[in-house]
Amino acid sequence: MEKDISFKILIIFCICILSACNNKSSKQVKMNNQDFDTYQNQFIEQLWSYYPDWATNIGYHKNDSMMIIPNDEARNAQKEFAINSLNKLHLFEFKSLNNSQKIDYHLIENQLNKILWMIDEEKSYQWDPSQYNVSGLIAVMLSENYAPIEKRLHDIHLRMKKIPSYYEAAKQNIKNPVVILTDLAKNQNIGGLTTFEKDLKDSIQNSNLLPEKKQEILLEISNTVAAIQDYVKFLDTLSNPTPRDFRLGSDLYEKKFEFDIQSIYTAQQIYDSALARKSYLHEQMYKITTQLWPQYFGSKPIPDDKLKAIREMIDTLSVNHVTPAEYQDAIAAQLPQLIAFIKKKNLLYIDESKPLIVRREPAYMAGVSIASISAPGPYDKSGNTYYNVGNIENLTAELAESHLREYNHYIMQILNIHEAIPGHYTQLVYANQNPSLVKSIFANGAMIEGWAVYTEQMMLENGYGNNEPEMWLMWYKWHLRTVCNTILDYSVHVNGMTEDEALHLLMDEAFQQKAEALGKWTRVSVSSVQLMSYYTGYKEIHDLREQIKQKLGSQFDLKSFHEKFLSFGNAPVKYIKEEML
């Protein structure tokens, strides 16, 4: 699933390196491993003072009342922090660090270089008006029960006092913004007003604050609402004769890919690989379709157009699904079966001491996806992990049927593998045993998503689903989405793919419904690179396994490979590879 794992954070800060990592500075002094741990802790504390919103989102609550005004002064301070921290980092002798510290060193260096790149090169603070939105974080502060509501309201009050200056700085920053991001900014800022006008007001009324204090915060709400409305009006009336293209372009794209994905491959290489993979998947799918055809269609002739034949077979198989009322129970019932299969096949150790809690998706997550994992953040590792299941029963019969066909008998099993066991949930349990805070904070999305995608194939390869051709066909279809996301993202942002071409790719070649394809077009218009993470991570993990298999020959053991791989935590695959090879 896409965007389906959240660490109570939605921050897309990831890290990467610009320069070679172990560039030797002449001033290097001998420092021991403990010094490095001290450095890391200080670095993280400082990071949270320059990026308090990020801190709050990730579950660090000391700076909840702080709000950074996004002006030149703040950006210069962030740059200075990045440069100073890099200088201190480079005082350590890379080769004297232990293996876990070496990875942390890379991660910190990447993050700091990314900060500099974002401010000096990417400059999205100028062209992306949707960066400026104050309601999301306050919604999080109201919905997460990490402190008494009175304390949270106090912090929110202090933040709100700065909101008018925040939007003034935003207005100063914006130059030739991307049109679709301007529209997004307007919609999201207006959408966020209910957080203040409804949720915050309700929380104030229900709190034990003194009446005067309640009055004070209520007054601040009207200032906030006015500032948001003023920002929206500014965007509405902005003269923008030469807007920036929403496409990132090759140079920025490759660099962003380097920072966010941290792959051994370039974006172009991943794109080429995804194109080849798409052809391979089509071939395999057609093979299975011809094999199954007589069983499902009798003597009806198979269409000449291979893609049409595959689509007909998929549509027919998709009718096999549970009812809306059975949906959540069907998901929960499958988890013990997955664990039993993994044990029987000896695929990896599953720690059952902290079970995954399957629950109905909470209201504030409102129909984002059919299933998602909510994982505790790095500051709350002992918190519960939830498997959120979307509420299908409230949908119209038609919509529910369309969802259920999409998440049919076969896909539901693959979804459970991906989201839960041995995908995201299992990976998370392993990652939480790794003490490194740096690896949790700068968790590598490509590794995390790549692992979940990898496990789908790995389970099937080991006989999950009894090697039924139907199961394989449906997995190929599911996997094709991952592959086509990669092709789409790169094609749109680098090669100038049009909307019509994108819809053809998604609907005709990846067998998606129109609604899904249109949603994907919107997503690729307002984001970049993130859609590459699934396939890149998958490919890297799969390639690494094959390399190690080759190296070890008959000594290769799948279970040890998996356990060793996961023991490094949320690190980029390329660094895990360095340690494993």
Chain positions contacting Zn ion, by CB under 5 A:
1, 4, 449, 452
CA distance 220 to 157: 7
Please give the single-letter amino acid code of residue 233.
K
Q: How far is the CB of 319 from Zn ion (least distance, A)?
A: 5
Nearer to Zn ion, 207 or 369 (CB): 369
- Output the six-digit token pair for 478: 């599911």
Nearer to Zn ion, 302 or 322 (CB): 322
Beginning with the edge strand found earlier in the chain, give each strand of the sheet holding 5-6 in spatial order. 5-6, 371-374, 386-389, 357-360
- Output the six-digit token pair for 496: 């100038």
Cα-only R_g, the chain: 25
| Cα distances (angstroms) measured from residue 273 to each of 103, 267, 277, 517, 549 | 27, 10, 6, 22, 21
Nearer to Zn ion, 99 or 320 (CB): 320
Q: How far is the CB of 400 from Zn ion (least distance, A)?
A: 9
Nearer to Zn ion, 2 or 150 (CB): 2
CA distance 330 to 322: 8
- Report how far Cα 546 is from the mean position of its chain's Cα atoms: 26
Q: How far is the CB of 529 from Zn ion (least distance, A)?
A: 16
**Helix boundaries (H) for 59-196:** 72-89, 99-117, 124-127, 135-143, 149-160, 163-173, 179-191, 193-194
Q: Which of 116, 144, 134 is nearest to 377 (CA)?
A: 144
Q: How far is the CB of 459 from Zn ion (least distance, A)?
A: 15
Q: How far is the CB of 321 from Zn ion (least distance, A)?
A: 6
Q: How far is the CB of 381 from Zn ion (least distance, A)?
A: 20
Q: Which of 228, 50, 67 is nearest to 161 (CA)?
A: 67
Locate tokens 């980029």: which residue? 572
Nearer to Zn ion, 378 or 450 (CB): 450
Nearer to Zn ion, 6 or 96 (CB): 6
Q: How far is the CB of 186 from Zn ion (least distance, A)?
A: 30
Q: How far is the CB of 397 from Zn ion (least distance, A)?
A: 10
φ/ψ region of 249 (left if φ > 0, alpha if ψ in -120 to 50, else beta) reads left
Assess contact for 74 and 105: CB atoms under 8 A. Answer: no
Nearer to Zn ion, 452 or 544 (CB): 452
Q: What share of the chain is helix, strand, coil (3-state, %, to 5)?
A: 65, 0, 30
Assess contact for 135 and 36: CB atoms under 8 A. Answer: no
Nearer to Zn ion, 155 or 449 (CB): 449
Nearer to Zn ion, 1 or 431 (CB): 1
Three-class DSSP category at 116? helix
Locate tokens 């003597």: which residue? 299
**In 10 A of CB 25, how many CB atoms?**
12
Nearer to Zn ion, 56 or 408 (CB): 408
Q: How far is the CB of 534 from Zn ion (least distance, A)?
A: 7
Q: What angle do CA 513, 515, 520 make, to 5 degrees?
A: 95
Nearer to Zn ion, 226 or 515 (CB): 515
Q: How far is the CB of 491 from Zn ion (least distance, A)?
A: 22
Q: How far is the CB of 149 from Zn ion (least distance, A)?
A: 33
Assess contact for 565 and 458: CB atoms under 8 A. Answer: no
In this structure, what are the phi and psi dihedrals at residue 10, rounded to the nearest 5 degrees?
-125, 20
Nearer to Zn ion, 414 or 494 (CB): 414
Three-class DSSP category at 428? helix
Q: How far is the CB of 94 from Zn ion (least distance, A)?
A: 32
